[in-house]
Structure 1
Amino acid sequence: MRIEIWADVVCPWAYIGKRRLEAALAGWDGERVEVVWRPFRIDPMAPRKAEPLAEWQIDPLVDEALSACTPDGLSPAENATRVSRIAADAGLGTPFGAVWRADSGPAHRLIALAHERGGAALQDAVVEEVLKAHFVTARDISDPDVLAEAARAAGFADGGDLLASGAGTDRVREDLLRGKAIGVRSSPTLVAGKRALAGAQSPEAMTAFLRDAADTPPERELPEEVERLRLAEALLDKRDPLGALTLLRPLLAEHGTEWSVRVLAARAYYHSAQLERARTELESLTAHSPDDAYLRLLLGRTLERQGRPEDAAPHLRLAAAMRQDEE
């Protein structure tokens, strides 16, 4: 059974959740569990060069930025006090807490690369070193040298060099979009199949989650292309057409003639205001399926947005007539 932990390494609850899951797994007597870490960003606007966290927390917009990592509606100060106490109880030591507002993007790339290179065990070791650097030894985990040191300590000797090469960028970008598509909204969130557990809950709650996931019959595994298409559609439904197009890019390259791929791409072009691309694709689609009311409607609206009402009118009339016939 695979458990995915969607978490940001600058979220203290991710570290506490890691310890609580470890406690749950220590007493687990069920099937073997593989734990894989996936990225989540609570502060995607963090500067590339880290700045003192205390200065940033003065900003009134911080409450909103940290809400994905602050349970129960606590203020950052109240949350920090609570976290320190709980972290000590979890064996993470004192003092506990970050001192830098650090961009976690490079750390997420390192963690993804560790999984690609050495699987779940190496990845877990890297996650541990990164979290320890950020929350225990108060290092700047946006610093490539700090991350390279963490990688070496975890047994990932060439992690720093891979990170410097830019490797892992596409993987993390796609994973972040995948997390958004499946509805991950907070750090940490545990996902097993279609089941999710949000927050760094108690070991007992995590054990119950593991048992529930283990007792649930696994769903039929879909081909990677079908899964990617579904995730792209979910992003479009969440009003992220650019994210949908990012996930569609490999499908457009390899399966660009597939009807479902083309229709979804046309929708994403339209909703991301790439109107000329949308028009070109929709004209081709309607030529092959002239009685598709939805495609006619979308083509008409595309032409309207391009400032071509006379060209749009016939398509809109046809779409309306087709829908009346269906009723």
Structure 2
Amino acid sequence: MRVEIWADVVCPWAYIGKRRLQKALAGWEGEPVEVVWRPYRIDPTAPAPGEPLAGVLRDPQVDEALRACNPDLTPADNRTLVERIAAAEGLGPPWGAAWRASTHDAHRLIALAYERGGAALQDAVAEGVLRAHFVEALDLSRPEVLGRVAAGAGFAEGADLLATGAGDEHVRESLLVGKAMGVRTSPTLVVAGHALAGAQPPEVIREFLEEAGATAVRRLPAEVERLRHVESLLDQRDPLGALTLLRPLLGEHGDDRGVRMLAARAYYASAQLGRAAATLERLVAESPDDSYARHLLGRTLQRQGRHEEAVPHLAMASAMTPSYAT
């Protein structure tokens, strides 16, 4: 059974959740479990190199945003609560982040560790990254920090791989996959399509794993899962993200009508009207009775200012599917 942890390494609950998952798996007698870390970004605008967190926390806007995380506590009281919970889980002392920093490269390092050494190496790297941020109060966006973490975890090649840009596309795609799956908080555990949000107590995690494992369904082929993720991103009005996930399928299955239709929708939604029109014109030529393709082609031509060309397509589409006339 694969347990995916979708989390940001600057989220204290991710570190707390890691400890609680370990406790939940202690004495586990079910099928073998593989824990895999996946990326999530709490603050995509965080800089590299990082900036001292103390100054950021004095910003009234930041204070207000943090207050929304727990309306019942002030941000300072909330940080004290998290520190106390972390201590109870055996984390620290000391405890406390000192930097607001981009975690993109840290996520790359964690992903590369899994690619090169599997779940055990990835876990060691993730532990090192979390410790560097919360216990050692280091700036995770700095290459020398991540290089030291990699070396300490037994991933000697990690620093050199980061320097080449390795893992960049994988992390960017993974972030989109998480968004498509509905991951909205750090951490979120995902098992066979079932999700558990937050750093829940060990007994809750264990119950979740037992239930998710018992109701697991056969995984869909990778291409089908990717298509579903593309559709989800389109539904969430992220056409550029959809095109990013669609790119490999266009390369490998560019003749597939369903793939091309998704591409046309994404082109249209992202205002790439020339590409949308060219794709839809071919689809309509191949299947003149496809009312949706005609309707979308007509709308595309309208947006291009080609109104006379749009009229027959829109008319035929509404004749085949009356709801398109509204």
- Choose 301-310 or 179-188, whichever is displaced more: 301-310
Post-superposition offset of 1:4: 0.1
Match of 1:239 in 2: 237
Paired with 1:279 and 1:78, the residues of 2 have a C-alpha distance of 56
What is the SS of the residue equivalent to 1:79?
A: helix
- Choose 154-163 or 70-79, whichever is displaced more: 70-79
- Choose 273-282 or 90-99, whichever is displaced more: 90-99
Q: Which amino acid aligns with 2:261?
A: V
Whether contact under 8 Å (2:187, 2:197) holds in the other structure is: yes
Post-superposition offset of 1:316: 1.0
Change (3 A) 1:165 1:73: farther
What is the SS of the residue equivalent to 1:140?
A: coil
Paired with 1:138 and 1:151, the residues of 2 have a C-alpha distance of 17
Change (3 A) 1:63 1:187: farther
Match of 2:280 in 1: 282
Q: Which amino acid aligns with 1:303?
A: L
Q: Deviations over 1:222-258 (max 9, x none)?
A: 2221211111111111111111100110111111010
1:100-139 matches, cutoff 5 A: 100-139=99-138
Post-superposition offset of 1:75: 4.7
Q: Which amino acid aligns with 2:154?
A: G
Q: Which amino acid aligns with 1:56?
A: V
Q: Which amino acid aligns with 2:172?
A: R
Post-superposition offset of 1:71: 5.6
- Choose 157-166 or 226-235, whichever is displaced more: 226-235
**Which runs of no fewer than 5 residues in structure 1 stay unpaired?**
none
What is the SS of the residue equivalent to 1:301?
A: helix
Q: Which amino acid aligns with 1:146?
A: V
Q: Deviations over 1:26-83 (max 9, x none)?
A: 1322221110000000000001120011211233443686689x46775532321111
Match of 1:185 in 2: 184
1:100-249 matches, cutoff 5 A: 100-216=99-215, 218-249=216-247
**Which runs of no fewer than 5 residues in structure 2 stay unpaired?**
none
Paired with 1:223 and 1:206, the residues of 2 have a C-alpha distance of 28
Match of 2:89 in 1: 90
Q: Which amino acid aligns with 1:51?
A: E
Post-superposition offset of 1:177: 0.5
Match of 1:323 in 2: 321
Please report the TM-score for the alignment, with normalisation by the length of structure 2: 0.95
Match of 2:302 in 1: 304
Paired with 2:195 and 2:160, the residues of 1 have a C-alpha distance of 35
Change (3 A) 1:186 1:173: same
Whether contact under 8 Å (1:42, 1:66) holds in the other structure is: no
Paired with 1:67 and 1:166, the residues of 2 have a C-alpha distance of 36
Q: Which amino acid aligns with 1:40?
A: Y
Please report the TM-score for the alignment, with normalisation by the length of structure 1: 0.95
Whether contact under 8 Å (1:43, 1:65) holds in the other structure is: no
RMSD: 1.9
Identity of aligned residues (%): 67
Paired with 2:72 and 2:109, the residues of 1 have a C-alpha distance of 31
Post-superposition offset of 1:308: 1.7
What is the SS of the residue equivalent to 1:4?
A: strand
- Choose 174-183 or 87-96, whichever is displaced more: 87-96
Change (3 A) 1:260 1:38: same
Q: Deviations over 1:94-128 (max 9, x none)?
A: 22110000100000000000000000000000000
Paired with 1:67 and 1:206, the residues of 2 have a C-alpha distance of 27
Change (3 A) 1:196 1:325: closer
Q: Which amino acid aligns with 1:20?
A: R
Paired with 2:155 and 2:314, the residues of 1 have a C-alpha distance of 59
Moved over 6 A (4+): none
Paired with 2:62 and 2:317, the residues of 1 have a C-alpha distance of 48
Paired with 1:20 and 1:72, the residues of 2 have a C-alpha distance of 25
Paired with 2:273 and 2:58, the residues of 1 have a C-alpha distance of 42
Q: Deviations over 1:246-289 (max 9, x none)?
A: 01101111110100000000000000110000000001101111
Change (3 A) 1:249 1:64: farther
Post-superposition offset of 1:220: 2.1
Match of 1:19 in 2: 19
Paired with 1:145 and 1:118, the residues of 2 have a C-alpha distance of 21
Whether contact under 8 Å (1:42, 1:65) holds in the other structure is: no
Post-superposition offset of 1:148: 0.4
